[in-house]
Structure 1
Amino acid sequence: MAKPPQPRQKQKQTALKPTTSQIPTPFIKAPPTLEPLLEQLDPAQVYITHIDRHPPDHKKQIFLIPVCLNAAIALLLLWRIYAAVPTYWAILQTLLGYTSSATVDVINTTRREQIWVIVQRTGMFALDFLLFRFIGVWPLTFFLERPCNPVLWRWQLGGFEKEEVVVRVSRGWGVEELMKGVKQGEENAFFKTRILPAIEAQFMRQKTGYLMMDRSWDLDFQVMLDAHTLVKQQKLGVKDVDKFVLATMEGVGWIAWQWETDSDVIEDRRKKIVLFKELLTKMGKEGLFFKWMEIVEDERDGDGGFSVEGQKKVAERVQKEFEKEGIDFEELSGSIGGLEELPAEGQ
């Protein structure tokens, strides 16, 4: 069970009166609803929070890949240790002046044979160093890193949930690069090259939270657990942390940018549907649009939403109907940015 989140020790900040004019676009003063979560964050880092709503089964399939990979690497490393210990022990005995299986008879061996022994052992040392130094850290951090790691995160989370709080933290850069200097906020190079690509719409749709780690962003598994604990304690709402970029600013404190709200999503979806209808009308296939809407309504759940199975049925039925008219639905919908997210009831 996850432990109650403990606030991070706050850094001393200059007591300046915050003013809205100080905050660079598109950030604003962080809303009070985020305060319980902000207490868990490092003021020197930049964070991205959102809710991963991919189906639990999909998250499970994605997560099992690194589990199996790291388990296989761990077994390989354990086997290598088991196989190499006798050899290294024999070499150590030789270095200490004792005769062992690794001792080379310099009298009865040729110079060429002695050089070959040196080459073999040097190669073994080098390969083992590379194996444990660069590959060995993968299973080590995956299974044993503290205060939290991917396995512990999943274990304490209780598996795979429909809505999971994902917290990304800047890697190799932070507030110092984003908020210091003449250009801040959206004018800053780090904003354009690190933040905007990380919240790009297609990237957000395609990737589960676990797959969002890269050279610019890491996952803060402990904060993710803390966020879920706060949600269960009703100190934080799930929607309160959806699609935020968080940073600190001297004299202001925590600032936030919510790059997309529910109303933005609805409006964007509405525009896509209108454009989709216009494209079909120009092609003389307006009837397909109404057929698409009919299929969507047929497969809708009682609560107005869609199950994973329902979404699959919609995709299969729509594809068949469009193929009858000689139109590739995926290609057509892709030309307007995709219709992966089905319209909610009443839209």
Structure 2
Amino acid sequence: MAFPTNRLRRLRKNENIRRLVRETHLSVDNLIYPIFVEDGVNIIKEIPSMPGIFRYSIDNLSKELDEVVELNIPAILLFGIPSHKDEIGSDTFNDEGIIQRAIRYIKQNYPQLYVITDVCFCEYTSHGHCGVLHNHDVDNDATLENTKKQVISHAKAGADMVAPSGMMDGVVKAIREALDSAGYYDIPIMSYSAKYASSYYGPFREAADSTPAFGDRRTYQMDIGNRLEALREVALDIEEGADIVMVKPALAYLDIIREIKDSFNIPLAAYNVSGEYSMIKAAGKLGWIDEKKVMLETITAIKRAGADIIITYFAKEIAKMIK
């Protein structure tokens, strides 16, 4: 039936009817909140390019975690900033490293929180790249060996889930075999399956002190123009044992999120990254946009595209709006 019989505006007349027919609903259950933990004491340091986001020492984590628990956000994603860096990022598999101590603190004091650890090396290496270097490029297989050590150390500390982000070939298989051989059969893997070599990561690199000392990461992160490669990456990660796959960044890759959701029957995460967060914050501060409305529209778009899980620095603000 066509106009005038069919009038779609009938279902837009007021907020109550719009709520009744709304297709996409955000829930706090969809959210993961990233947290930066820095080695040291008495640290609460705002990240200049990410207003409202801080680096905390473990002794100052409680205020942040109290709020996360109060807002009923189910999970956090931990990033560590160590006091020691070296060529191979050895602090990643040091049982007394910053992430390992943070995990133990959180599991002891906030057992209701689900703790996910970012598994990579860029924050821990003296050169800022995501693994062991050979001829000024990351040696894939040597990096896998250290990744195995890292995930076992995280698991021993009490991590609930590990999330490899370095885009090394075969990393999911290596992690699954390492965890299983050590008896950690129940720890799932959330793989950064389609992680693009994006310009949206700038503020994160300031937050995590992870800017490469030379070159870039295009030999291991995906080219921004590729779509089919993302499907291949996801298919390989599923075959190797990934429990959740991820697209990163989210906003500029909504088409990739949708295609992966349509192609694979597996939980899908999307990372609403630092640059996406900072652009909204900056434009909001200047009064160019309504910050809260644009934030909500952005996160809704990511969910509408097909993401089951959204990792976002807006998690607390979204949770407050929902609450």
Tell me which interval the TM-score lies in, with the shorter structure as reference length: under 0.3
Larger RCO: Structure 1 or Structure 2 (Cα < 8 Å, ≥ 6 residues apart)?
1
Higher fraction of strand: 2
Provide the TM-score with structure 2 as the length reference.
0.26
Give the TM-score, by structure 1 length. 0.25
